[in-house]
Chains A and B, each alone.
Chain A
Amino acid sequence: MAARRRITYTVLALLALAALLPPHLNGYWVHVLTLFFMMASLAQAWNLIGGYTGYASFGNVAFFGTGAYTCAYMMTEMHWPFWGAFVTAIAAAGLFATVLGTPILRLRGHYFAIATLSLAIGTQALVQQLPPLGKGSGMTLPINSNFHFFYWVMLVILIASIVVTMFIARSRFGYALSAIRENEEAAAVLGINAAVAKVAAWTVSAGITAAAGATFAYWSSFIDPPTVFDLNFNILMIIMAMLGGAASVAGPTIGSFVISAIGEALGAQSVSPWHAVVLGAIIVVIVILLPRGIMPYLAGGPSAWNLQMLRRQLRASRV
């Protein structure tokens, strides 16, 4: 366990150092890193419900879109400053998660997955019909071209999401979530109010996701439903969290870093389908070789890096 804690502190220290970088970076790298901080905080948020609680949410992107649209609405229609809109966005998504989570979190496994998937698609379709939200044609926010500002805001959201996860993981609440993941009936017998704990976890997850969504809206200064409700965001959150190590404090950030780095190395700016072919193949290989993510290898130290461990892992998941 100590090793895992050391990894968390290392990640946090590196991120704190990253705050000093912007003056030394050109616009391209500021953009790439801002995007990485955003994806990493989305993966951290997903990890609370998908990793710790074991409920595979395909609907978290709905909170991203809700956050983005709430922020856009408050800033353009109500003429609120960004921070007011930002807090409102978090509250709106949290409320959304609490209200919808109460019935949806009664479902499990595939049924929960499909219900949350329809939540994501349904929210997008609904936003597309609402006149105050510009219907399908999107909304334009006030332009702020101080891109270092967004770099720091996204970085703070990411650091906050890791710290929140760290505190939850060590709290009674965090143990309750893990107990629910392992065996919900047994958790209930132990006196855990599973319904409340699950909804609370989803609400926190939604709040972090909406914070990133609100910042994204202001950052891109134009949003439309296909962009902020893009299911690929949700799928990337899952891939990043699982690759790093689900139900680990800093795993999702590590996973996001690896995926972003691979994407950059393959030339994310290029549109050739060959890059996607290679990315797909790399994910296949990683998933088969690291079915439990990178975390067990990092936490195990040098002794974990041997063929026996790899073989044991492979044998455990093979049919």
Chain B
Amino acid sequence: MNVINIAHGAFIMLGAYTSYWLFVGPMHLDPFLSIPLAMAVLFVLAYLTQRLLVNQVVRAPLLTTFLLTFALSIFIANLAQVFWLSDIRSVTTSYSGSSFALGPITVPWIKFWTLVIAALLTLALQTFMTRTKLGRAIRATSMDIDAARLAGVDVARIYALTFGISGALAGAAGSLVSVSYAITPTMGDSFVVRAFVVAVLGGLGNVTGALVGGLVYGVIESFGALLGEGYKDVVALVVLLLVILFRPYGLVGKATA
């Protein structure tokens, strides 16, 4: 959609807190079960953000949306800090330490289910984008706003909806990371850059590509760490540079004219 959303990390953080509060609250809801709730909360929030704020500047130069979402992320992260303080929180479930053996590899159950759910969500998104009328409207709007409008697409609503879906996925991601990472108001920062890198690795606007990009990035980062912990980022970013120089359409994408 050509909108750089820096607030994506803040949305992930809010998703993680949603799961955290539902977990420590009276309902004691399992973080995996609170995923739909976190998705719903973040969908509404992201939809309104786009409808009321970002839609106002969508046609301004590319960096304007970047600026706006950056300011939003400062706003959200610091508001979270005002209300929830900077305390490091974590979600520890009864199965947090357990794992199963896959030959010589030990797989923690949490990471396994995280991967399964991430894959299912990707599949659902891919199906939605390619097989439904709304998905087609989103792709049309991202190709050419005016042509989509002429074809009868309510582009303002489509923008808000796309942002909402993106927010819902950030909410799900937040629930998923809440079981493996520390939860703080600024936890989103480290995810924004990675999400951006992964999306480019996979090819922008390519749903399955993003999953491939994520896997490749994770593997490169882990192997980079073999050279020494400090070289992890250097290796990952050098590979990224090479990919965008030689395959700017992503690892799995096709070159277009």
Interface residues of A (CB under 8 A from B): 50, 56, 103-104, 106-107, 109-111, 113-115, 117-119, 121-122, 125-126, 128-129, 136, 235, 238-239, 242-243, 246, 273-274, 276-277, 279-281, 283-284, 287-288, 291-292, 314, 316-319
B151 at the interface (CB under 8 A from A): no
Q: Does A110 lie within 8 Å of B200, measured CB to CB?
A: yes
Q: Does B53 lie within 8 Å of A284, measured CB to CB?
A: yes
- Main secondary structure on B side of the interface with A: helix
| Residues in A neighbouring B68, C-beta threshold 8 A | 283-284, 287-288
Q: Does B244 lie within 8 Å of A56, measured CB to CB?
A: no
Q: Which of B57, B64, B71, B197 makes the CB contact (< 8 A) with A118?
A: B197
Q: Does A319 lie within 8 Å of B234, measured CB to CB?
A: no
Compute how far the CA of A284 lies from the CA of B155 in the bound complex, rounded to whole angstroms: 22
Residues 74-117 of B, flagged 1 when their CB comes within 8 A of A and 0 if not, give 11111101100000000000000000000000000000000000
A280 in contact with B59 given A122-B234, A129-B230 (CB within 8 Å) = no
Closest CB in chain B relative to A292 CB, distance in Å? 7
20 chain-A/chain-B pairs, Cβ below 8 angstroms: A56-B62, A104-B245, A107-B244, A113-B4, A117-B196, A118-B197, A118-B237, A122-B234, A122-B237, A122-B241, A125-B232, A125-B234, A129-B228, A129-B230, A129-B231, A284-B68, A287-B67, A288-B53, A288-B57, A316-B59
Compute how far the CA of A113 lies from the CA of B77 in the bound complex, rounded to whole angstroms: 23
B129 at the interface (CB under 8 A from A): no
| Residues in B neighbouring A316, C-beta threshold 8 A | 59-60
Q: Which of A50, A107, A111, A284 makes the CB contact (< 8 A) with B75?
A: A284
| Residues in A neighbouring B156, C-beta threshold 8 A | 319
Q: Does B71 lie within 8 Å of A280, measured CB to CB?
A: yes
Q: Chain B: which residue is nearest A109 at the CB level?
A: B62
Top 5 closest pairs, chain A to chain B, by CB: A280-B75, A283-B71, A280-B74, A291-B60, A317-B60
Closest CB in chain A relative to B155 CB, distance in Å? 6
B223 at the interface (CB under 8 A from A): no
B122 at the interface (CB under 8 A from A): no
Interface residues of B (CB under 8 A from A): 4, 53, 55-64, 66-68, 70-79, 81-82, 145, 155-156, 159, 193, 196-197, 200, 204, 228, 230-234, 237-238, 240-241, 244-245, 248
Compute how far the CA of A72 lies from the CA of B57 in the bound complex, rounded to whole angstroms: 43
Closest CB in chain B relative to A37 CB, distance in Å? 22
Compute how far the CA of A276 lies from the CA of B82 in the bound complex, rounded to whole angstroms: 10
Q: Which of B59, B79, B196 makes the CB contact (< 8 A) with A114?
A: B196
Q: Does B62 lie within 8 Å of A136, measured CB to CB?
A: no
Q: Does B63 lie within 8 Å of A319, measured CB to CB?
A: no
Q: Does A283 lie within 8 Å of B197, measured CB to CB?
A: no
Q: Does B63 lie within 8 Å of A121, measured CB to CB?
A: no
Q: Does A125 lie within 8 Å of B63, measured CB to CB?
A: no
Closest CB in chain B relative to A258 CB, distance in Å? 13
